[in-house]
Structure formats: structure tokens, C-alpha cells
Chains A and B, each alone.
Chain A
């Protein structure tokens, strides 16, 4: 086994892989959120942003990179969960955790919900199988009318609700994950309250992600001409 394989297979290597891939996804989520927030800038701004992304030269590099990160994150997580289960073959009759939080204890569950949502989200807005009738509309500049698709999507209460649940799960997941990576990489320092980073980021992302759809739902953001 080479030193690199040994590192990757070690317990600490695995959690650092989780940390780095997780961090990559957090960065993506932040960028993605800034995109969402452009809904408040109106149809032209949002469609311009969508057009920019669509025609990015490195689009597939970024997509493949993201997919790789997600796949590595998930596979490492599965292997860790399996090893952790094996590490305690007989369960306690009574076990009362005190320091861990629901955020840390339900990482696997929140992660799975987020994964399911991401697939649904991609089907909805990237592949266009959820609301195909709105998928191929163009705006007056001949660009994909992502803005209208967004509005029509979240005018649907069911879609809004599933989105809200998923974003909440993301908030929970990051509440633990987004401070955990600092510990996993060994950058924790008593002078900096790094443990608060996760919950803060979680809340920021939750608010950032939930704001535009909520604005749609309550009629603050409307279809052009409506």
C-alpha cells in the first residue's frame, strides 16, 4: 500500500476527506445561494446569471468536479458509518448522549434527505422532468427564462414545502459539518469560536435559500407582466 492509500484508508484520512469534500460543497452552496438571491434583482438579472452559467466554458469540468466531490463524500460516509456500526457490535441497554446534538447525530439521515432533494432539484431545474411545460420557455432576449420557471415552480405549495424541508435539512447538516471540518483538519484553536461557524453558516444558507421561494409564494416576486 502506498503512503497515499494508507492515508486515505486511515480513520483520520477518511474524516479529512469528508471535511475537504464537505467544504467544497459548502463553497458551492454559498455560490449557488448568491445566484438564487439574484431573483430579487428581477428577471433580466436572473436570466443573465443563468445564461452565464449555461455558457461557461468549464461548465462540465465544474459539474464533473462537483459530482466527484459528492460521490466521494457519500461513499466515504457510507464506509465510515459501516465501520462505526461494527465498532460497537453490542448496543447499550441505556445510552444517554449529552454533548452531541441532533445535528451531529442525524448527519447520515439529513445527508440522505439532501441527496434525495438534490436529485429532485436537478430533475426539476437542470434536466426539466418535473415541470417540463415550463422548461423550454425563452425570455425576450432569447435566453432560457429561468426566472419564470423559478416563479412557476415555487408558486406550487407542494414544491415549496419539499424545498423548505430540504433546506432545513441542509441547515442541520451544515450546523455540524461546517464547523466539524475545522476540527477534522486540526485547525481548531481556542481563540476562535470555530464551533459556532457551522450553525451560523447553516442559518445563513437557510435564510438565503428560503428567501426567494418565500418571496414567490407570498407574491413579492411575480411572473413578468403579472
Chain B
């Protein structure tokens, strides 16, 4: 096993308001068994040794589930390895002497906060618009009283595996968030518990997505290829169907109270 020396081009941007640029750095002595983020840790140690401020990047669990890490690596979200987040991408996938380009997710709805770190609050707003089943704690019937066919539960789980990282948006030539929103909807709409609010939820979440300034889907399916959890484009199809149905048939909420004496 030999250590690698690399040239890493990193997007440096002081804060949301300042302009940024790609800056090349040499990184030396990187083990092939190190993860990509550990390579950035090494870069940061080497930068600080020279008195330069380290590169800011988002990360937390480093085991591919929290969805905090992002990074466009050599033009691919999370580096382009199948079903892999940046934190689980390992340096054995790169060659000694390679030039690596590292950029933040690019989308108007994901403004850069600093360097490689972006603000994904727009995803929060979409989920707040309807990504839930309106049931209060304490009101649940016995869990086995509503049987759910395994096939449905599996389908829900396939969609619910979304980690909310934003790779779909980053990959989409149009900066669209439809795989993300579709996954959220497909999760709940594959289950009986999600049916009561299906129409309202679809409309509310799609409207929130549009309001956040994401692009439109033109069926390139880059999102599906980039998704580290391999979520299928089928979720977008389902959302499209639900949305047109809800738009033309769903009755708006009346706003009338249930009050009584």
C-alpha cells in the first residue's frame, strides 16, 4: 500500500455574500484506505500547518445515513460511486497524482454558506408543508390492527430510505428537487396511514417545492443515477399522477371548525 499525492481543486467562498473561486491545493500522504472526507481532513491539517483557514464542509455521521455530507466530486454528486455517499467514498477509487475537483451543490435553492457548505433549509420547508401523518401521540391503534402487505411496506421503505442530502438536486441539469419530494410522498402514499391526507399533502409539498425555486423535471433521470440510496424515478411518476389527480379532484380544506357545546 502506497500513499497518494493529489491535487485537489476546492471551491473557496468566505460567506454567502462573497464571491468564490476554485483553488488548487496539493495534498500529500493520503492512504488509499482513507475515506474522501478523511482526505479533506488531511488537507485541512496541512492547510492549518501553513496558517491557512481550513476548508468548511458539512459532515456528521460519516457512515452514509445522516445526509449531512454533500460535495460534487469530479462532476458527480458524492463522487459518482454507485449507492455511496461522500463519507463512504474511499480513496482507493482514485489514482496517485490525480486532479480532483470538489464543489458545493449548485442550486439557487441551496445557497453556499461557506466553501463547500450549503444551506438546505428549502428541503425543510417542503417537509413542513405536509411530510407527515397528522396523528397525535397517544391516539394510535394496535400496530397489527392495520395489516400492511409486505410489498407495500417494502415500497414505502424504498422511498423512505432517502437521506435528504440533496444529491438529486445537485445532479439534475435543471436543479430540480422532484426525486426528493417524490420520495417523501411515495413513502407515505405506499402505506394506508398516508391515504387520508394524500391529496392535500401532494399539493402542499409540490407547491412548497416550487416556491423554493427549484428547477423543473425534464426526465433526464440524473437524480436517480446520483441518489446514494438508489431511489427510483418511479417516485416522481407517482407524484405526477397524484398531483394531477389532486389538482383536478381534491376538495380544498374547508377551514370550518368542529366546535360544539
Contact = CB atoms under 8 A, between A and B. Distances in A.
Direct A–B touching, Cβ under 8 Å: yes
Interface of A: 3, 6-7, 10-16, 80, 83-84, 86-100, 104-105, 107, 176, 180, 182-188, 190
Given A12-B244, A185-B241, A185-B244, A84 B215 contact: yes
Task: Name the 8 nearest CB pairs between A and B, nearest first.
Answer: A186-B241, A87-B215, A87-B175, A96-B75, A100-B220, A99-B225, A84-B174, A186-B240
Contact of A92 (B72, B176, B233): B72
Given A11-B210, A188-B237, A190-B234, A99 B244 contact: no
B22 A93 contact: yes
Given A11-B178, A105-B173, 6 more contacts: A15-B216, A86-B215, A87-B213, A99-B222, A99-B225, A186-B241
Interface in B90-118: 101, 103, 106-109
Given A86-B213, A94-B101, A99 B224 contact: yes
Choose among A88, A90, A104 the residue with the greatest number of B CB atoms under 10 Å from its CB. A88
Interface in B211-247: 213-222, 224-225, 233-234, 236-244, 247
28 contacts: A3-B252, A7-B244, A10-B210, A11-B210, A11-B217, A12-B244, A13-B243, A15-B217, A15-B240, A83-B216, A84-B175, A87-B174, A87-B213, A88-B215, A92-B106, A93-B9, A94-B75, A94-B101, A96-B75, A98-B225, A99-B225, A100-B220, A105-B220, A183-B233, A185-B241, A186-B241, A186-B242, A188-B237
B173 A100 contact: yes
B108 A180 contact: no
Given A89-B108, A92-B103, A94-B101, A84 B218 contact: yes
A86 B216 CA distance: 11
B173 A84 contact: yes
Nearest to A79: B216
B107 to A, nearest CB: 6
Contacts, number: 143
Nearest to B20: A90
B105 to A, nearest CB: 10
Interface in B36-78: 72, 74-76
A97 B214 CA distance: 18
A98 B173 contact: no
Interface of B: 9, 11, 22, 72, 74-76, 80, 101, 103, 106-109, 171, 173-176, 178, 206-207, 209-210, 213-222, 224-225, 233-234, 236-244, 247-248, 252
B74 A96 contact: yes
Contacts of A99: 220-222, 224-225
Given A16-B244, A83-B216, A100-B220, A88 B175 contact: yes
A132 B225 CA distance: 52
Contacts of A16: 240, 244
A179 B136 CA distance: 43
Given A93-B101, A98-B80, A14 B220 contact: no
Contacts of B107: 87-88
Given A7-B248, A93-B22, A98-B76, A186 B238 contact: yes
B209 A11 contact: yes
B240 A100 contact: no
Contacts of B220: 97, 99-100, 104-105
A10 B225 CA distance: 25
Contact of B106 (A12, A91, A182): A91
Contacts of A88: 106-108, 174-175, 215
Given A11-B206, A12-B240, A96-B75, A104 B218 contact: yes
Contacts of A92: 72, 75, 103, 106
Nearest to B169: A87
Contact of B80 (A96, A182, A183, A190): A96
A83 B212 CA distance: 12
B225 A12 contact: no
Nearest to A198: B219
Contact of B239 (A12, A84, A95, A105): A12
Contact of B241 (A87, A176, A187): A187
Contacts of A10: 206-207, 210, 243, 247
